[in-house]
Amino acid sequence: MTFQDLNLIPELTLALDKKGYKEPTPIQQQAIPHILSGKDIFGCAQTGTGKTAAFALPILQLLHTNKPAVPQKTIKALVLAPTRELALQISENFKEYGRNLGIMHTTVFGGVNQNPQVNAIKRGVSILVATPGRLLDLMQQGFIKLNSIEYFVLDEADRMLDMGFINDIKKVITKLPVKKHTMFFSATAAPDIMKLANTILKNPVSIAVTPVSSTTTLVKQSVYYVKKESKRNLLKHILKSATIESALVFTRTKRGADKVVKELNSNGIKAEAIHGNKSQNARERALKGFKDRTIRVLVATDIASRGIDVDKLSHVINYELPEQAETYVHRIGRTGRAGANGIAISFCTQDEMPYLKDITKLIKKDIEVIKSHPFA
């Protein structure tokens, strides 16, 4: 199947050619025709499946084809995302896919001065990508009105609930017009997610691709059993291998991330940390360096990692295993994206064995144990 088969307009297919996309991913094949025909969507899909384009492309097309004769300054499409990184990533996608359309969009998120965001809104945008807190803040100050919204996307709803955004989301929803076209995406279909979905969606079409328990087969997974005090030496040992072009290393805590970075840098391995205590500018700088390949290792906590989308990321290393098995799937899904091969390495101490057990139960397969290493 091609993008033309999905009845996308040439302005979009040209932009996709430029991105190097050859064919639509399964979620795009399934979702785009329904969204174009005006149906609400419940999409069960994790990041890495191409879900952003699955909603961004039809929204751009609908905004373009239904463009009013006289330009208006009202916001027509709202995308809510749990983190700043994901919001920026989504905006970047709207920019790239919409490069031939001239549809204005902007992003609002907390942790930075609001003035540039307010100015962009005042100039007039059709698409707004936002995190819930800053959106509500700017609404309360009267800078943002949602009464003209025609398209509403709730992205990574599962993560929104995990992060405690449920009340913020409900507040936003009450301000949206009753008649709108809603697209709801979540990596899981847990009961609380379904409850929220049922309150917003009208006769939705349900689409599910790669449920969270099926880790992508393109990612080669392995585990190293190691003592806690030997983890840093094992990490340095593994990173010495030249085959590791870039590695995203996960720790459970912010302090842990900083400690790993310090250790690596003092051993000549260029690393940066990305977590909630870092300023937005520092986070963006670190992410940019990692994407540009000037920083080889990025050490992240889970919340900060949402939305990190790096082309051809070769390795994900779980320095510490996550307490939630689903988080493991999200983490390793950062590599092996859109058809590329990836490698996921996990370190596991005696204390972390129960987490590993939960993970193998969720993904329904064993993870290869690497026995021959100097810190076994």
Structure tokens at 220: 């080669």
Among residues 6, 8, 15, 25, the one that binds ligand AMP under rule CB under 6 A:
25
* CA-based nearest residue to 30, from 207, 173, 190, 264: 207
Is the CB of 40 or the CB of 309 nearer to ligand AMP?
Answer: 309
Each residue of 252-265: b (16+ CB within 10 Å) or e?
Answer: bebebbbbbbebbe
* Binding flag, residue 335, ligand AMP (CB under 6 A): no
Interacting residues of 305 by C-beta distance below 8 A, sequence separation 6+: 85, 248, 250, 274, 330, 331, 334
Q: Taking the complex as a whole, how short is the minimal distance between the CB of residue 28 and ligand AMP, in angstroms?
A: 6
Contacts (CB under 6 A) with ligand AMP, residues 336-375: 337-338
Q: How many Å separate Cα 61 from the centre of its chain? A: 22
- Figure out which of the listed residues 30, 49, 215, 301 binds ligand AMP, where binding follows CB under 6 A: 49
Name the token pair of 286.
């670190």
Q: How far is the CB of 20 from ligand AMP (least distance, A)?
A: 7
Q: How far is the CB of 311 from ligand AMP (least distance, A)?
A: 6
Cα–Cα distance measured from residue 55 to residue 49, given in angstroms and rounded to the nearest whole number: 12
* Minimum CB distance to ligand AMP, residue 43 (Å): 11
Q: Which of 15, 41, 42, 51 binds ligand AMP (CB under 6 A)?
A: 51
Rounded Cα gap, residues 298 and 278, in angstroms? 13
Nearer Cβ to ligand AMP, position 90 or 325? Answer: 90
* Contact call for residue 48 and ligand AMP (CB under 6 A): yes
Give the interface segment with ligand AMP, choosing from 29-37, 48-56, 186-194, 344-352 (CB under 6 A): 48-56
6 or 121: CB nearest ligand AMP? 6
Site residues for ligand AMP, 89-128, by CB under 6 A, read none
Does the footprint of ligand AMP cover residue 14 (CB under 6 A)?
no
Q: Which of 9, 13, 14, 21 binds ligand AMP (CB under 6 A)?
A: 21
Residues in contact with ligand AMP, shown as a per-residue x/- string from 275 to 314 under the rule CB under 6 A? ----------------------------------x-----
The span from the CA of 27 to the CA of 207, in Å, is 7
CA-wise closest residue to 345 among 241, 259, 257: 241
CB of 292 to ligand AMP, least distance (A): 16
Tell me the number of residues near ligand AMP by CB under 6 A. 14
Is position 76 an interface residue for ligand AMP (rule: CB under 6 A)? Answer: no
- Region from 18-26, 175-183, 298-306, 347-355 binding ligand AMP, contact rule CB under 6 A: 18-26
Q: Judged by CB under 6 A, which of 15, 40, 42, 50 binds ligand AMP?
A: 50
Q: How far apart are CA 124 and CA 137, in angstroms?
A: 18
Neighbours of 236 (CB within 10 A): 14
Q: Between 311 and 368, name the residue whose CB sits nearer to ligand AMP.
A: 311
CA–CA distance, 252 with 299 (Å, rounded to integer) = 10
* Binding status of residue 136 toward ligand AMP by CB under 6 A: no
Q: Which is nearer to ligand AMP, 51 or 278 (CB)?
A: 51
53 counts as binding ligand AMP under rule CB under 6 A? yes
Integer CA distances (angstroms), 195 to 5, 24, 191, 199, 201, in order: 34, 30, 6, 7, 10
Return the structure tokens found at 33: 């025709």
Rounded Cα distance between 103 and 241, Å, is 45
- Exposure class string for 203-217: b at 16+ Cβ within 10 A, else e: ebbebebbebeebbe
- Of 85, 82, 84, 27, the closest CA to residue 56 belongs to 27
Supply the minimum distance, in Å, between the C-beta of residue 306 and ligand AMP: 10
Q: Contact residues for ligand AMP (CB under 6 A)?
A: 21, 24-25, 28, 47-53, 309, 337-338
